[in-house]
Structure 1
Amino acid sequence: MSGFLPDEPSAEVRVSPNFGPRRDSQKPDMIVLHYTGMATGAAAEAWLCDPASEVSSHYLVHENGHVVQMVRESDRAWHAGQSSWFGRTDINSCSIGIEIVNPGHSLGYPGFPKRQITAVIELCKGIVTRHAITPQRVLAHSDVAPGRKIDPGEKFPWAALFKAGVGHLVPAAPVRRGAALKSGDRGADVETLQSMLSLYGYGVEISGIFDDRTRIVVEAFQRHFRPRRIDGIADGSTMRTLQKLLASARN
C-alpha cells in the first residue's frame, strides 16, 4: 500500500499486510467494535501487523486515545472472522473494524478510559459520515459473532457513544420478576422473540424452540443493550428493550 494516506486525518499510519479487496464490489455499511484482548496495546498493534497472525483491523485505538490506521477503509481487513448480520456472512467485506485496546475478560477486563472512548467516538463519527452508516449498524463483535466472541463486552460505554450521536440505543427496561422465556421453551412466544431478534439483524433461526443458539443470541443482545443482567433468559426487560429498539430503528 505505497502512498497510504489515512482516511482519518488524525490517525498515525502503520500498515498491516493482512488485508485484501472487498468482495463483490461491496462497500462498508457497518462498523464493528472489538477489544484487543491482549496484555498491552503495543503487543496488540504488533500482532495486527504480523503476517503470521492473519488478522487485522482498519483502526486501533490505544488507552490514551492515540489512533492507528492499519488498513484503508476501501480495503477488506480481517477482523470479524466467522460472523453474520441480516443473513450476510462476509462481514469483513461490508464493515470497518475498530480494535480498542483492552485486555479483556481473561485478563481482568478493566473499564475503558474516557479519553480512549472520546477518540473512538470521533473516529466513528468520521466513518459514519464518509460511508453514510446508519446508527443501528454500529455493532459489537459479539453481535455479529454470538457465542464465539463477547467483545467489547458489557463494560463498553455504548450510552456515551449514543449520547454523542453514534450508534443505536434505548433505555433498557427495568429488570423485574415475572414470566420469562428460557432454554427448552417452545411455542408462539419463542417464535416472536426469534423473529424480533432476526428483524434487528441477529443470526437466529425462527423455529419456535428456545434452543442453545437462541440462548447465545439473547446473551449477545443483553451484553450490548441490557448489560445489567446477562443470562440468556428472555425476561420482560429483555423483550421490552428489544421491542423499543425495533420501534426506533431506521434503515
Structure 2
Amino acid sequence: MTQLELREILSPNHDARPPGQAVDILLLHYTGMKSAQAAIDRLVDPTAKVSAHYLIEENGTAWRLVPEERRAWHAGISFWAGARDINARSIGIELVNPGHEFGYRPFPPAQMASLEALAKDILARHPIPPRRVLGHSDVAPQRKEDPGELFDWAGLARRGIGLWPRAGAAARSWSLAELQAGLGRFGYEVPDHGELDAATRTVLIAFQRHFRPARIDGTPDEESAGILADLLDQIG
C-alpha cells in the first residue's frame, strides 16, 4: 500500500461539529473543475463557502484542507439514513477530476492508491462501516453525479473500503414499492408511493452509478433489485 505523505493548505471554510457527534460517513467527491489548482483555490476561498477535509490530485499528491475534528462544507443539501446534516457526521475527500462537465475521465492508479492509504487511515480512527463509504451522488442524487460511474468502487471494496455486491447476486422480481422500500432501508431518500416518478428514477440512477455502473438508465429492473437485495443482506 502507498505510504501517504500529506501536504497542507488550510481552508477557512469550516465550523464546529455538534457536541458529541461521531464521524460515521466517509464521503467521496470529484472536484469537477478544469484543474487541480482551480479546485484548491475554490476550496480555500472564504467567499466560496465550500471545503473538504482532503483533496487528492491525479498524480497522487494529497492535501489536508480542514482538520478532521472540524465540520467541512462539502455535502450541501443532502440526506442519508434519516440524517440531513451530512457535513456534521462525515469526512469529505475531493478527488481531482474534470467531471462530467469538463471531460470526465478515469481516476489514475496513483490517485486511487493515495485514496486507499488515506481512507484506511481515516477508517482506523473513526467508526465508519463499509455501507457508509459513499459518493456525493448517493447523499444528493437530485443534484450530484460524483464521483461517477468511472470511479472504481469495486476495487476499493476489495481493499476493505466500502461495500460492493457479491458475485452472482440473484435477480429479484420486486414491485416498484418494494424497490423503493429497499432503497430507503439502504439509506437513500426516495419516495414510497409505488410510482416511477422523476425523483425515484434519479435515485435509481445514483444507485446504479455506484453499484451497477455498466448500465445506468434509472430503470427498476430485476438486476438492480437483486444487487440491492444482496447489499441489504450484507448489512443485515
Please classify the TM superposition score into its range, dividing by the shorter chain length.
over 0.9
- Note the C-alpha offset of 1:236: 1.1
Write the letter of the residue equivalent to 2:158: K
1:159 Cα deviation from its structure 2 partner: 1.2
Q: CA RMSD in A?
A: 2.0
Counterparts of 2:160 and 2:167 in 1: how far apart (Å)? 18
Q: Which runs of 5+ in 1 are unaligned?
A: 1-7, 181-187
TM-score, normalised relative to structure 2: 0.94
| 2:66 equivalent in structure 1 | 71
CA contact (8 A) 1:173 1:238 kept: no
Q: What is the rounded CA distance, in whole Å, between the counterparts of 1:217 and 1:137 in structure 2?
A: 17
Say yes or no: does 1:236 pair with 2:222. Answer: yes
Greater mean alpha carbon deviation, residues 98-107 or residues 200-209: 200-209
Which letter does structure 1 place at the counterpart of 2:189?
Answer: G
For the 8 Å contact 1:140–1:151, the answer to whether it is kept is: yes
Quick one: distance in 2 between partners of 1:129 and 1:135?
12
- Give the CA deviation at 1:10: 2.5
Matches of 1:173 and 1:78, distance apart in 2? 39
Quote the Cα distance in structure 2 between the aligned partners of 1:105 and 1:240: 28
TM, length-normalised to structure 1: 0.89
1:87-140 per-position Cα deviation (integer Å, ceiling 9, x unaligned): 100000000000000000111101110010010011111111100210010000
Deviation track 1:184-220 (CA, whole Å, cap 9, x = no partner) reads: xxxx812111110011000112222222111111000
Q: Deviations over 1:220-243 (max 9, x none)?
A: 000000011111101111010111
How many residues align structurally?
Answer: 234
Q: Tell me how far apart the structure 2 counterparts of residues 110 and 175 of structure 1 sit (CA, whole Å).
A: 31
Say which SS state the counterpart of residue 175 (structure 2) adopts.
helix
Give the drift of 1:174: 8.5
Match among 191, 197, 200 for residue 183 of structure 2:
197
Counterpart in 2 of 1:93?
A: 88
Shift of 1:155: 0.1
Say which SS state the counterpart of residue 25 (structure 1) adopts: coil
Q: After the TM superposition, which parts of structure 1 deviate over 3 Å for at least 4 consecutive aligned residues? A: 171-176
Overall identity of the aligned pairs, in %: 47
